């Protein structure tokens, strides 16, 4: 079976919308319900965060969600079981697990990759996994399980480094909009838009998705004008805290963010 991430980019005609949320937040069992609601709302891909006690690349919203999820009892093994539930319930969206290397090392990289593949995971985003370490140590087990490893680039990433990452990638590249922590913004600066345009002009073989700062229709349009799509994290996690009806409230969130784009 072809990887769902690759299938998405081969068939999608409009901008891709990927939504991040933290596993086990706001409540331990919400991971599965949120996945259902996001698929029903027309989201193209989901990134489920692996809670970690020291999420250094994340801003206060996602940091707090990590703490709540850990306090709720979320673990790597429980998350993998929840992904199995998501698949057993018929959710067909590509699922990416995003987190830090430490919990994966503690779990065991080979064990993690095997169980992730068996659970129905399609990709991994581990921001603190160095490219060379991935290439030298982990690529065989990741690839053998049909997983796609996704790397991040930022406005300070050199052209040669971006080209190396493009060569090592087989799904998409996560273009961080600013050299900062995660967090919602009302609009992107002209410098950030210039960065998106520069990336577009590079002619990379992998599509680009922009993350960090996507919070509304304006930032979604700015990000997707020059790339294949956008990733929404902090704005969605923040909204989850006050949602009372996941199905209705998530659909309203997605519609307000994307409008008619890509539908």
pLDDT on residue 156: 92
Whether pLDDT at 35 is above 80: yes
Catalytic residues, which ones? 47, 58
Whether pLDDT at 186 is above 70: no
User: Which pTM was predicted?
Assistant: 0.93
For 44-59, what is the mean pLDDT?
Answer: 84
For 178-205, what is the mean pLDDT?
Answer: 78
pLDDT on residue 259: 79
Burial class (CB within 10 angstroms; exposed 0-12, middle 13-18, buried 19+) of 88: exposed
pLDDT on residue 189: 84
* Tokens read off for 110: 């080979």
For 225-238, what is the mean pLDDT?
Answer: 93
Dist. CA 238–CA 64, nearest whole Å: 10
Stretch (H or E) spanning 124: strand 123-125
CA angle 263, 44, 164 (to 5 degrees): 120
236 band by pLDDT with thresholds 50, 70 and 90:
very high
Which residue segments constitute the domains of the chain, with CATH numbers given? 16-258 (3.20.20.70)
Residue 195's Cα: distance from chain center in Å?
A: 20
Dist. CA 100–CA 122, nearest whole Å: 17
């Amino acid at each position: 079976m072809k990887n769902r991430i690759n299938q998405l980019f081969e068939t999608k005609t409009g901008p891709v919308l990927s939504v991040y949320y933290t596993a086990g937040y706001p409540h331990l069992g919400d991971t599965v319900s949120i996945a259902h609601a996001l698929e029903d709302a027309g989201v193209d891909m989901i990134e489920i965060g692996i809670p970690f006690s020291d999420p250094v690349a994340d801003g206060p919203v996602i940091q707090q969600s990590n703490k709540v999820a850990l306090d709720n009892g979320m673990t790597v093994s429980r998350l993998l079981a929840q992904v199995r539930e998501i698949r057993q319930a018929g959710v067909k969206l590509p699922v990416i697990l995003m987190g830090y290397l430490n919990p994966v090392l503690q779990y065991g990289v080979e064990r993690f990759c095997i169980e992730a593949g068996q659970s129905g995971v399609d990709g991994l985003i581990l921001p603190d996994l160095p490219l060379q370490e991935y290439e030298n140590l982990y690529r065989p087990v990741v690839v053998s399980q049909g997983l796609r490893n996704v790397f991040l680039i930022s406005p300070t990433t050199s052209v040669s480094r971006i080209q190396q990452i493009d060569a090592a990638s087989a799904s998409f590249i996560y273009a961080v909009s600013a050299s900062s922590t995660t967090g919602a913004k009302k609009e992107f600066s002209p410098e950030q838009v210039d960065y998106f345009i520069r990336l577009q002009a590079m002619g990379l073989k992998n599509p680009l998705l922009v993350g960090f700062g996507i919070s509304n229709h304006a930032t979604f349009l700015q990000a997707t004008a020059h790339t294949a799509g956008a990733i929404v994290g902090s704005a969605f996690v923040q909204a989850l805290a006050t949602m009372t009806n996941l199905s209705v409230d998530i659909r309203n969130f997605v519609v307000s963010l994307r409008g008619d784009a890509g539908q």
